[in-house]
Amino acid sequence: MLAGLALSTATGRIEGFDFQFSKGRLAADEIFDSATSPPARYVIELARRISAAASSADLLVIANPLLPLKAEQIAGWITGSAFGPMLLADADGFPLLYCLPRAAFAEIEPFLLMLSAVDADLDQRLLTGLTGLSLPVHRLAGLTIGEYPISTPGGWFQGSLRQRVLKLTTANAIKIVESRSDWRNVPVAAYHPYHAGSIVFFAMASRDVTTPLVKRHVICSSYKDIIAGTASTLAPIWLKLPFLPRDGSVGEPHYFVHSLDRLGEAVLKDNFLVFMRYSRVSAVSPFHMIDHDRFSLGESLTRTEHLRQVQPPLVSERCAAPAAPLRVLFHVTGGLPIKNYPLDYAKVAIRCLRALGIQISVIGRPDLEPFGAVSVEADETDSLIAAVREHHIFIGLDSFPHHYVRNVMGWPTIGLFGTTGSANFGGGWSAQYRALDANLACHPCGAETSCPVFGSSECINYARPEHLVAAILSMAEQVYGFAVE
Amino acid sequence: MGVLSDFDLDGLIAEYGCRYLIETGTGIGRGVEEAAKHDFLQVYSIEIMHKLALEVALRFADNPKVTIIHGKSEKGLKEAMEEMEPGVPAIFWLDAHFPGADFRMASYDSERNHDLRLPLERELRLLAEHRDISRDVILIDDLRIYENADYEEGPCQPAALPAPEFRHVRFVDEILGKTHHIERSLRRTGYLTAHPLKKSGA
């Protein structure tokens, strides 16, 4: 799937390398699987890995990461032709291989992010501008890739409209390189403008990258408060548009084109824009989204100990109030019924905890007050922070409050997961964090409207109330020394 | 509902030096369309209903002089005021009631929270707190929610009326009475307008 060659022009030696997307081990022949990385990010990673393994090579051939290519196959295409920098494409111009001097990959690394990986002519023009080399595009007359599929079993979902997005960012990069002699000083800006939870992950990832390819972040201006709280290291470029709705009523490529209009010529002239929204189904990858984003931003993540999940959290705080009375804050409304913690589960958990003398608050749910909870308003980041600080433990769904409280505040948190993957959006089990789900065969289904199995509006993958209560008591004991009298 | 074209925007720009227009309640963008025709440095429009905000924002995405802010009016007003050049007069075009009701996305009485349903008083206090509004023009729509009179489009639906103790505009006099000339109009659903007593540069 991910392949390349190292060539030595002096000796004629060709060395092949095959990699696969990691399913969790991050073995030597695996590459981190990141849903927010554009295809070009894997071109960079392949070049890094092959370059490190073949230090005597002077040319690297990197296969298009969108295509299921093997080193043996691409070696067959290369053998017989004169070695030299070039691009190989199919009969219609879909790029198959990028062949550049080994040193060039390192010299222009951040700018390689703007390769489209779907249009050889555009990529050739960009690479020519970046390297100053004469780069012919050779076409394999007998091979036609055809239209790239909308979706694949591996989770790619580039589709034709997304290919246009990639081409637009490449075209913008070409304009910069061809019109500005100082293009090397032009920063790379990640286009990742929404949604709130994703912004938390991206911002926290930026604090955790040693080799950043990206300096700026295009982000909806309604998230200013989130960026202020997360201490992102990326300079924001505010996109003055309401965020993309999640109901599919506006397509992401359509929104992207309007974003370019909104950002205006000045921003496009002064920034290499790279599309870093989700390009793959995140649940296919076993890793946490912060690590997905760290990879996108430039971290290679070649060993499991590099993963954020297995390291101490960047932020860790706790409530300063005495352990008793224990106060727990719930957020059980996910915006869509299928994302809500089931009502009956919530009622039972609240009643049980109240019976144990534990004080319960629930964000925005007056209907749960008859069962012993107090409904509190926390619909802005400031009010959320204030509410959390008054409680020992936060219980949240796979949504912004949970991600902010856990990752930015570092507060003792229990994450409840129904339709989405706890490994991707929660991850881990420690004194201050638990991710709970029922781990049913259907999980994670990713449904956003109703249960795809039963058609119901509630998800039965959520942890049962007894498991939730047990987790709360366990965390309260571990973190605060709380014991039920 | 009122319309911005009922007002002589060019005249207000010329007479009071207003260079910004800030609207609460974007709706389907009629106010933005009207404002965009005039010589403002920037038009800000604030809409709490995401669907409405996005539709209009995408329509005006290529017009750098128009900014649609999605969110509660107070948050949007603060965001707009942070960007506006201090001391440059503005026109504030304020919707008096819960947004969405004019566009069949909510009923006039659908919001139980009084503060959210009738944000006008908090909006005016916020403006007075965050900037010198003595040179700003304030245009308020739907006066019939607050006062009975013989309005062109008739009285307010009873269900949309606030509790009697909240049905007044005394706060407008309190906030603007010393710096503005306040007038009532019976056109459409009623307007309350506040023009500065001192003009720009005076």
**ipTM rounded to 2 decimals:** 0.89
Candidate from A278-287, A303-312, B105-114 with smallest mean pLDDT: B105-114
Domain with CATH 3.40.50.2000 in chain A: 327-480
C-alpha closest to that of A358 among A406, A324, A334: A324
C-alpha closest to that of A170 among A239, A297, A87, A272: A272
| φ, ψ of residue A191 in degrees (nearest 5) | -90, 100
> Which pairs count as long-range contacts for B196-201, CB under 8 Å and 24+ apart, including other chains?
B196/B16, B196/B89, B196/B134, B196/B135, B196/B136, B196/B137, B197/B134, B198/B134, B198/B135, B199/B15, B199/B16, B199/B17, B199/B135, B200/B16, B200/B17, B200/B18, B200/B89, B200/B135, B201/B17
Would you state the pLDDT for residue B100? 44
Q: How far apart are CA A333 and CA A395, in angstroms?
A: 11
> Which residue in B47, B52, B66, B70 has the most chain A C-beta atoms within 10 A of its own C-beta, making it the best mutation to test that interface?
B70
* Reduced DSSP (H G I as helix, E B as strand, rest coil) percent helix, strand, coil of chain A, to 5: 40, 15, 45
Q: Percentage of residues in chain A with pLDDT exceeding 70? A: 97
Say which CATH topology domain A327-480 has.
Answer: Rossmann fold (3.40.50)
B70 interaction partners in chain A (CB closer than 8 Å): 222, 242-243
Q: B69 and chain A: CB distance < 8 Å anywhere?
A: yes
- Residue A363 pairs in a beta bridge with A376
Would you state the pLDDT for residue B112? 45
Would you state the pLDDT for residue A428? 67
Would you state the pLDDT for residue B98? 52
Instruction: Spell out a b/e string for A364-399, using b for 16 or more CB atoms within 10 Å of the CB, else e.
Output: ebeebeebbbeebebeebeebbebbeebbbbbbbbb
Sign of the alpha-carbon torsion through B173, B176, B181, B187: negative
**Interchain proximity B62–A255, CB inside 8 Å:** no
Q: How far apart are CA A232 and CA A230, in angstroms?
A: 5
Q: Closest to B58 (Cβ–Cβ): which among A221, A258, A264? A: A258
Would you state the pLDDT for residue B95? 86
User: Mind telling me how many Å the CA of A388 is from chain B's nearest CA?
Assistant: 21
In this structure, how many other beta carbons lie within 10 angstroms of the beta carbon of residue B183? 10
Q: Percentage of residues in chain A with pLDDT exceeding 90? A: 84
Candidate from A67-81, B97-111, B155-169 with smallest mean pLDDT: B97-111
* Reduced DSSP (H G I as helix, E B as strand, rest coil) percent helix, strand, coil of chain B, to 5: 35, 20, 45
Confidence of residue A314 (pLDDT cuts 50, 70, 90): confident
Does the structure show a pLDDT above 60 at A169? yes
**Are the CB atoms for A72 and A46 separated by under 8 Å?**
no
Does the structure show a pLDDT above 80 at B197? yes
Q: What is the pLDDT of residues A191-250, one digit of tens each?
A: 999 999 999 999 999 999 998 999 999 999 999 999 999 999 999 999 999 999 988 899
A244 interaction partners in chain B (CB closer than 8 Å): 54
Q: Is B94 helix (H, G, I), strand (E, B) or coil?
A: strand
User: Mind telling me how many Å the CA of B83 is from chain A's nearest CA?
Assistant: 12
Q: What is the pLDDT of residues A369-412, one digit of tens each?
A: 999 999 999 988 999 999 999 999 999 999 999 999 999 999 99
Does the structure show a pLDDT above 90 at B198? no
Would you state the pLDDT for residue A152? 66
Does the structure show a pLDDT above 50 at A299? yes
Q: Which residues contact A83 (CB under 8 A, 6 or more apart)?
A: A7, A9, A12, A59
> Would you tell me which residues 372-411 of chain A have a C-beta closer than 8 angstroms to some C-beta of chain B?
380
Q: What is the pLDDT of residues B108-135, one digit of tens each?
A: 444 445 454 578 999 999 999 999 999 9
Would you state the pLDDT for residue B131? 96
Would you state the pLDDT for residue A430? 84
Average pLDDT over residues A26-33: 96
Q: How far apart are CA B19 and CA B21, in angstroms?
A: 7
Instruction: Spell out a b/e string for A77-88, using b for 16 or more CB atoms within 10 Å of the CB, else e.
Output: bbeeeebebbbb
Confidence of residue A54 (pLDDT cuts 50, 70, 90): very high
Q: What is the pLDDT of residues A360-374, one digit of tens each?
A: 999 999 999 999 999
Would you state the pLDDT for residue A153? 61
Q: Does residue B106 or residue A456 have the better pLDDT?
A: A456
**Interchain proximity B68–A222, CB inside 8 Å:** no
Tell me the two tokens of residue A70.
């093997």
Tell me the two tokens of residue A219.
């982000």
Average pLDDT over residues A306-318: 89
**Interchain proximity A242–B50, CB inside 8 Å:** yes
**Are the CB atoms for A88 and A73 separated by under 8 Å?**
no
Q: Closest to B57 (Cβ–Cβ): which among A242, A249, A264? A: A242
Q: A259 and chain B: CB distance < 8 Å anywhere?
A: yes
Q: What is the pLDDT of residues B59-70, one digit of tens each?
A: 999 999 999 999
Q: Closest to B71 (Cβ–Cβ): which among A222, A250, A259? A: A222
A250 interaction partners in chain B (CB closer than 8 Å): 54, 58
Does the structure show a pLDDT above 60 at B202? no
Distance of CA B139 to the CA centre of its chain: 6
**Interchain proximity A241–B51, CB inside 8 Å:** no
Let me know how many helices (H) and strands (E) chain B has, helices first.
Answer: 7, 7
Q: How far apart are CA A394 and CA B144, in angstroms?
A: 45
**Interchain proximity A241–B61, CB inside 8 Å:** yes
Would you state the pLDDT for residue A331? 98
Would you state the pLDDT for residue B111? 45
Tell me the two tokens of residue B140.
């308020």
Q: Percentage of residues in chain B with pLDDT exceeding 90? A: 78
Tell me the two tokens of residue A91.
């009969």
Let me know how many helices (H) and strands (E) chain A has, helices first.
Answer: 14, 18
Task: Give the predicted TM-score (pTM) of the model.
Answer: 0.93
**Are the CB atoms for A108 and A213 separated by under 8 Å?**
no
Would you state the pLDDT for residue B181? 97
Tell me the two tokens of residue A216.
């700026």
